[in-house]
Structure 1
Amino acid sequence: MKAQHPESEQAGVPTKAEMDVLQVLWDCGPSTVRFVNDTLNAQKKAVQYTSTLKQMQVMVEKGMLLRDESSMKHIYTAAIEEQSTKGLMLDKFVDTLYKGSPSNLVMQLLGNKKTSQAELDAIRALLDQHKNEL
């Protein structure tokens, strides 16, 4: 049975550009458009201020962001939770590319990338924890 992600489903699945904005807000907290734009540009995204402003205004309309207009500079906050949003996106990704099979995804990941012993140990610990919870 799939996990439910009510906040993210209500707002819709974010686009790549929306995820870039959300990631800044999740990492840095409530911010102005100028801060988000400067952060995106520092990450080599090369976006114009007006594009960031419009993107964030649309995200408010979609319910992804909240805007505090109580001061001269509007402050934006993520209205959707990071983990539930990423969970929803991952569910859709696994459904689309791996026919809903998390094990197929894991096998692909482990087959495509050199996995360190520390990563394998962490995966084993997570699997043991999951097994104990069943």
Structure 2
Amino acid sequence: MMKPTDSEMEILQILWEKGESSVRNVHEQLDKKDVGYTTTLKLMQIMHDKAMVSRDSSAKTHLYKALLSKEQTQHQFLDKMIDAVYNGSTARLVMQALGNERASKEEIDLIKAYLKNLENT
């Protein structure tokens, strides 16, 4: 599976959230104010060449759609991070994440329910 760059991930995030979009729409959603429209266009053309996005060119304004699954891409990045940063230990990742005290009570309850479900299967 293709590993998107940071810039490509930003574009994919927009396409996953908004759905099919023009370059102009994606460009306006990007947080980077110093990046020009032509840079966004070139990145999306490269992503099309890499088969990360499809392009509907039947109208004057081309529309792009993500071809990479959000879930698969997240899973790939998570696996790589667990291997690289936590020596393959999912437990270390979870303990580190929960140790940062960012998890809300609702999130902790969801995690507990998920763990209980794993134990019962």
Which TM-score band applies after superposition, normalised by the shorter structure?
over 0.9
Say whether 1:49 aligns with 2:37.
yes
Quote the residue 1:33 is aligned against: 23
Q: Unaligned 5+ residue runs, structure 2?
A: none
Q: Unaligned 5+ residue runs, structure 1?
A: 1-8
Q: Aligned partners of 1:60, 1:21: CA distance in 2, in Å? A: 12
Q: After the TM superposition, which segments of 4 or more aligned residues of structure 1 sit over 6 Å from their partners?
A: none
Q: Aligned partners of 1:75, 1:23: CA distance in 2, in Å? A: 16
RMSD: 1.1
CA separation of 1:80/1:115 partners in 2, compared to 1, >3 Å: closer, same or farther?
Answer: closer
Quote the residue 1:3 is aligned against: none
Counterparts in 2 of 1:82-93, with a 5 A limit? 82-93=70-81
- Provide the aligned length of Structure 1 versus Structure 2: 120
Per the TM alignment, residue 114 of structure 1 is displaced from its structure 2 partner at its CA by 4.1
Q: Aligned partners of 1:116, 1:24: CA distance in 2, in Å? A: 26
Say whether 1:62 aligns with 2:55.
no
Secondary structure of the residue aligned to 2:65 is strand
Residue identity (%): 45
Q: Aligned partners of 1:39, 1:54: CA distance in 2, in Å? A: 16
TM-score, normalisation: structure 1: 0.85
Alpha-carbon displacement from aligned partner over 1:48-70 (angstroms, at most 9, x marks no partner): 10010000011011110111111
User: In structure 1, what residue type is equivalent to 2:25?
Assistant: F
TM-score, normalisation: structure 2: 0.94
Bigger RCO (CA 8 Å, 6+ sep): 1
Per the TM alignment, residue 116 of structure 1 is displaced from its structure 2 partner at its CA by 2.8
Say whether 1:15 aligns with 2:5.
yes
